[in-house]
Amino acid sequence: NLAACWSRLGRIGRAEPDFEEQLAELRLQTLESVGEWGDHGLSNLVHALAKLRLSGAEWQPLWLAAERTALAQVSSFEAQATSNTAWSYAKARRRAPELFDAIAAAAPARLRAMSPQALSNTAWAYATARHPAPALLEAIAVEAAPRLGEFNTQALSNTAWAYASAGHAAPRLFDALAAEATRRLPDFSPQGVANIAWAFATARHPARPLFDAIAREAPARLSSFREQHLSNLAWSFAIAPTSAVSTAPALFDAIAAAAVPRLGEFTPQGLTNLAWAYAEVAHPAPELYEAIGHRIGTAPERHPTSCLTTVLWAM
């Protein structure tokens, strides 16, 4: 069964260097028959293609054939297939506006049957694809808010990220997300902590208890934060509504201490965001500023003019 084969491949992941060459025969066989597949097989196929990062020129006919077949059937897709298909095309960065429109029209009737992960993935897909679907996002918000206790922490942070990225106001959902995330914050990964802070700051949604919990919880865990997470966390506390956060001096001290020995691993944008955040909240961090100045001074050509200008302003 070709669909089952793709499903197994998606779970295994990429393996040997000539992995794609080994799939040539399977690709051709699938292309010949995919027009007759149903929703389960189609969603397994595109999910595997996305996870395996199969997007080169030789894979384009198969992606397009799957899209045409899905368009003809999406109104009758089951809930999981609906979510998986949207997620897959977004994950693979495939432009498929007709398919996204068709899924957005069909999905609201299936939301009650979607798992928490499927709800989160569907919202994430539309935000990632930057495909407007306000009615769908509103319907997901209504369905998800009372069920957030069933979401795992990654689904909570991904849902918050999706609505903030899409610029879709969902105050009741954000209120529920804030309460649930505050309760379970110790269980969040470093990326989840940074992402949910970024989401609430970007959405400009007040959540003082959540930000206070992050300010208490994060300092002891910053050694496990990646550089992007450190700069995003500082940026989030700097840009959040003043009514939503305290000054969090201990958190800013801890971020500076964690960042200084690792500045060589920061991207130019990460350095810029970090310097801007400390200047925006007027938090003294002389060692951090000195280290940033040294990093940029030794290789100014690696930093875009906009980044240099912002860092100079901050310092």
User: How do residues 117-176 score in pLDDT, each as one tens digit?
Assistant: 999 999 999 999 999 999 999 999 999 999 999 999 999 999 999 999 999 999 999 999
**Stated pTM of the model:** 0.92
- Report the percentage of the chain scoring pLDDT > 90: 80
pLDDT digits (tens, 9 = 90+) for 24-47: 999 999 999 999 999 999 999 999
Contact (CB, 8 A) for 134 and 164: no
Q: How far apart are CA 237 and CA 206, in angstroms?
A: 12
Contact (CB, 8 A) for 195 and 233: no
Contacts of 135 (CB under 8 A, 6+ apart): 104, 108
> Which two structure tokens, joined as six digits, stand for 251?
């958190």
Contact (CB, 8 A) for 258 and 223: yes
List the one residue out of 80, 27, 33, 30 whose CA is nearest residue 57: 27
Q: What is the DSSP letter of 218?
A: S
